[in-house]
C-alpha cells in the first residue's frame, strides 16, 4: 500500500500545535525548500490570512493536517486512526476500481461510511461495513441440504435441489455450476446405453461447491501471508482442491486465473485441471519475490 509520505519530505511534527508560524517556518515544517514552494491549497488554509499590515500565518496543527489529508496518498493517519482514500480502499480490500467507485458514489443508498475528512475514510469503519455487507450477502444465499451420504452420486438435477434451487436452470446461471465443473471427477460419470456419458457428482462435492460461493465481491486480501505446504512428491499431479490447500487458500475459488493457466494438465471436456506439486511451489516462490 502506498506510503502516506512517499513523494514528500519528512514533516517536522515538533512544537506547540497551536503556535502560529509564518511562511518561512511553514515551508520548513513541511519540507519545502523555500516559502515560494507553498502550494495554493495551503495558502488558502492560512489560519491568519494576509491583510493590510499582516502576513499569513498557520498553526502547526494546520500544517500537519494539510500533510496528512492533502499530500498523503493511499493511507494516512487522522486522529490516531488509519484512514484510506479511494486508492487505499482498492489496495486494502482488493476490490475493482469500478466497484469502489460505486461504493463511494452510492453511499446514501448502500450505507458506505461517510468520509472523515474530504476524501478520507476510516479503515476500521470500512472493514465493519464490508463485514456487515458480507453477512447480508451470505444470508441471501440459498440454503444447502447437507443431509445424506457424502459419497452418494447425484445428477445435475439432484445437485440443484441439494443447493436449494427450484429449477435446474437456476443452477446453470449460478457461480456454483462453474465450481462444480471445476471439482467434477470424470470417474464418477456413468455411460449411457445409447452412448455418451452422464455427469454425476458426489454429495460432498456439491457441498464443497456451495461453500465456494462468494459472499460478496471485492473480498479482502489475506490479512496474513499464506502458509505453503511443501511436503509430498514434487511430480505428483493434484487437483484444484489440493492445489488450493498447498498454496494456503481456503477454497479452490481462491486460485487466480494466472494459477489456473499454469496447470500442467489443462481443463478439457474429459479432464480436470491438475498441477504438479513442484509447479505450485514455483508459483508460491515467484509470488514472494
CA distance 192 to 7: 67
CA distance 31 to 110: 40
- C-alpha distance across the termini of the chain, in Å: 16
For residue 35, the Cα-to-chain-centroid distance in whole angstroms is 42
Cell of 127: 472493514
pLDDT of the chain along its 289 residues, tens only?
333 434 456 789 999 999 999 999 999 999 888 999 898 889 988 999 998 888 999 999 999 888 888 887 788 888 889 999 988 898 888 888 888 888 999 988 889 999 998 889 999 999 999 988 877 766 666 789 999 999 999 999 999 999 988 888 778 767 788 889 889 999 999 998 888 899 999 999 999 988 887 654 444 444 345 678 888 898 999 999 999 899 888 788 778 777 888 889 988 878 888 999 989 988 876 765 4
Helix (H) or strand (E) holding 122: strand 121-122
User: What pTM was computed for the model?
Assistant: 0.46
The Cα-based distances of 267 to 171, 186, 225, 280 in angstroms read 21, 12, 28, 17
**Dihedrals φ, ψ of 211, to 5°?**
-70, -20
Amino acid at each position: 500500500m502506498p506510503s502516506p509520505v512517499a513523494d514528500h519530505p519528512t514533516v517536522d511534527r515538533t512544537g506547540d500545535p497551536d503556535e502560529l508560524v509564518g511562511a518561512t517556518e511553514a515551508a520548513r515544517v513541511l519540507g519545502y525548500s523555500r516559502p515560494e514552494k507553498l502550494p495554493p491549497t495551503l495558502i488558502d488554509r492560512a489560519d491568519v490570512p494576509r491583510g493590510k499590515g499582516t502576513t499569513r500565518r498557520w498553526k502547526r496543527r494546520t500544517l500537519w493536517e494539510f500533510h496528512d489529508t492533502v499530500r498523503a496518498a493511499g493511507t494516512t493517519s487522522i486522529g490516531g486512526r488509519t484512514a484510506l482514500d479511494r486508492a487505499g480502499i482498492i489496495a486494502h480490500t482488493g476490490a475493482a476500481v469500478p466497484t469502489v467507485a460505486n461504493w463511494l458514489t452510492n453511499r446514501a443508498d448502500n450505507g458506505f461510511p461517510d468520509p472523515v475528512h474530504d476524501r478520507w475514510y476510516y479503515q476500521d469503519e470500512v472493514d465493519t461495513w464490508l463485514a456487515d455487507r458480507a453477512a447480508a450477502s451470505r444470508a441471501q444465499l440459498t440454503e444447502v441440504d447437507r443431509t445424506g451420504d457424502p459419497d452418494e452420486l447425484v445428477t445435475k438435477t439432484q445437485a440443484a435441489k441439494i443447493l436449494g434451487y427450484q429449477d435446474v436452470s437456476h443452477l446453470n446461471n449460478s457461480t456454483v455450476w462453474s465450481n462444480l465443473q471445476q471439482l467434477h471427477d470424470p470417474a464418477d460419470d456413468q455411460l449411457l446405453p445409447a452412448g455418451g456419458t452422464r455427469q454425476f457428482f458426489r454429495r460432498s462435492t456439491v457441498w464443497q461447491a456451495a461453500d465456494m460461493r462468494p459472499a460478496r465481491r471485492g473480498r479482502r486480501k489475506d490479512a496474513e501471508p499464506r502458509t505453503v505446504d511443501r511436503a509430498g512428491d514434487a511430480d505428483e499431479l493434484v487437483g484444484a482442491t489440493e492445489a488450493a490447500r498447498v498454496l494456503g487458500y481456503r477454497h479452490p475459488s481462491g486460485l487466480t486465473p494466472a494459477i489456473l493457466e499454469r496447470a500442467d494438465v489443462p481443463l478439457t471436456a474429459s479432464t480436470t485441471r491438475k498441477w504438479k506439486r513442484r509447479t505450485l511451489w514455483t508459483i508460491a516462490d515467484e509470488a514472494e519475490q
